[in-house]
Amino acid sequence: MEMFSESILNRKNKRTQTLFRTLFMLMTLLLILPVLIILGTLIYKGGSIISVDFLFTDPIKGMTAGGIFPALFGTVWLVAVALMVSVPLGVAAAIYLSEYAPNNWFTRAINLAIINLAGVPSIVHALFGVGAFVIFFGFGTSILSASLTLAIMTLPVVIVATKESLQAVPEAFREACWNMGATRWQTIRRVVLPNAVSGILTGVILEVSRTTGETAPIMFTGAAFFLPFLPQSVFDQTMAMSLHLFVVSTQVPGVPNALPYGVALVLIAMVLLMNSISIAFRMHLRGKKKW
């Protein structure tokens, strides 16, 4: 008998570990498989229509032919303005809740409100956008109204991601700065925020994904069925990819079979491209961390 032979308990633990590893791998594959099927279907049915002309020309013949450039351009407008509004507000709110706010009933009520806001259906945000931005503030149906609605809808994502990343910065960093005579704001600006940027970008990535694909909030506040011109300012209406996909899929007769799939494929490619750029930047920043 060998001195260091494997015991029955070790063999049992190894079998259990292999079983759970296989189980978790299968669960991961089950999550990835639908995504691959969707992408494969879109490429198979819509890949043939993708071309430079499709991306950079206007729709023609009642949107049954031509390209998607106005919708593509309008989606970039909507996402950019929504980011410019929600990211500063969300980061500022997260800094207050994480670094300044005392642990009392008021702070807990704010955190509860943020959680509840994240669970509000998008159609409710759309109605709020119509009442607040289109009517009350008088912005009309415009890019500004639609982007502000999207910004309000995605604020919880930015706040939660930023708050978690701020709290992940070791407390010793703050104490070292305070011991050197730095103020709380100097500590946040010079030490805490730079070390939390990669986590903040996670919230930005999630926001980009959601704002790019939302339809209901922009349908009532700023997106147009069809426009023969590009928007010149944030007070103009615009076409958007998500609404354009809905229109050509359900509202326009005589659309080629490949057209809706091509629009969906470009929409997903937009999200993947924006997310890839953000993820690459986040990984670059994470690589500079010393802890």
pLDDT tens-digit series, residues 35-84 = 899 889 999 998 889 999 999 999 988 888 888 999 999 999 999 999 99
Domains of the chain: 78-286 (1.10.3720.10)
Rounding to the nearest 10 degrees, give the CA dihedral for residues 198, 201, 202, 203.
140
| Mean pLDDT over the full length of the chain | 88
Task: Report the pLDDT averaged over residues 202-226.
Answer: 87
Q: Confidence class of residue 1 from pLDDT cuts 50, 70 and 90?
A: very low
Share of the chain above pLDDT 90, in %: 37
Identify the pLDDT of residue 140. Answer: 92
Residue 53, CA atoms < 13 Å, CB-side half-sphere: 6
pLDDT above 70: residue 290: no
Judged by average pLDDT, the poorest of 52-61, 198-207, 218-227, 281-290 is: 281-290
Identify the pLDDT of residue 35. Answer: 86
Q: Confidence class of residue 278 from pLDDT cuts 50, 70 and 90?
A: confident
pLDDT above 70: residue 237: yes
Q: Confidence class of residue 138 from pLDDT cuts 50, 70 and 90?
A: very high
pLDDT above 80: residue 99: yes
Higher confidence at residue 291 or residue 278?
A: 278
Identify the pLDDT of residue 116. Answer: 87
pLDDT above 60: residue 276: yes
Identify the pLDDT of residue 288. Answer: 65
